[in-house]
Structure 1
Amino acid sequence: MAQQTWILIFQWMKIPLPRYILSVVQLLEFIGSYKGGKKLNRAVYTVAAATCWNIWLMRNAVIFKSKPPDIAKLISDIKAISYTWIKNRAGLSDISWENWRNFNF
């Protein structure tokens, strides 16, 4: 489930995800080497953090509350939470929800 989530999130961000990434450290190294400009890189880091957080929350819901995993909800939550973080904490308050939904900068 986590691997499929990362694939879908990187497709949404229009960034090809290499197959060799096997850990969060490798993921952060890949993101750090991505040449997309200051705003885009900040957005990608924010989405990565939101993805880690939401995968953890879903994992806990599956294990401790016996809820079935729902990748569609997980992806939706990642987009919504990362948008909130971008607007309020990452200094990109000028981006609209419509642009964020399509990951347009």
Structure 2
Amino acid sequence: MDSLSCPICDSGIETTNHSLWFCSLATTVWQRVFVWLDLPSPSPSNLRDLYFWLDDIHISSSRKSILEVICGVTLWSLWNFRNEMIFGTCPPRRSTLFDKIVDCSYRWYCSRNKLSSISWNNWLQNPLVVPTL
């Protein structure tokens, strides 16, 4: 590696915590995820903080499992984006990152929860809101 600086924002020392929580891209992505979910944005600074927050949030178990998938996909997507910046042949596009998180989390959730009846349209709007019939 030529530098210890973050390959994404170039404004901090690259650490796992920086890449997943403090990098300007990471903070923007997390804010956008929580706006999409209509939840107040927690302030985790590491994986342990995120899991404590997930354990303490007061929502139904079915909604919590959706939230856990979305958080997992967000972490994976941020790490994958970082790896593509460093090791890929062409830099990934920031503009598609959130859309990939929405798409991948839906596919991941539905493949792991065969009895789920959540539609793609409901997922796009907010997967934590149960549609009224």
**Cα pair distance change 1:14/1:91, threshold 3 Å:** farther
* Among 95, 112, 119, the residue aligned to 1:72: 95
Q: Distance in 2 between matches of 1:92 and 1:48?
A: 21
* Among 111, 120, 126, the residue aligned to 1:97: 120
Q: State TM-score, norm by structure 2.
A: 0.71
Q: Distance in 2 between matches of 1:59 and 1:94?
A: 33
Unaligned residue ranges in structure 2 (runs of 5+) = 1-24
Deviation, structure 1 residue 67? 3.8
- Larger RCO (alpha carbons 8 Å, 6+ apart): 1
Which entry has the higher C-alpha Rg, 1 or 2? 2
Deviation, structure 1 residue 7? 1.2
Percent of pairs with identical residues:
28
Pairing 1:8-87 to 2, within 5 Å after superposition: 8-19=32-43, 21-65=44-88, 67-68=90-91, 70-87=93-110
Q: State TM-score, norm by structure 1.
A: 0.88
SS in 1 for 2:87: helix
Structure with higher helix content: 1
Match for residue 4 of structure 1?
A: 28
Q: Which stretches of structure 1, 4 residues or more, deviate above 2 A after TM superposition?
A: 66-72, 90-93
Q: Distance in 2 between matches of 1:13 and 1:26?
A: 19
- How many residue pairs end up in the alignment? 104
Q: Distance in 1 between matches of 2:53 and 2:90?
A: 32
RMSD: 1.6
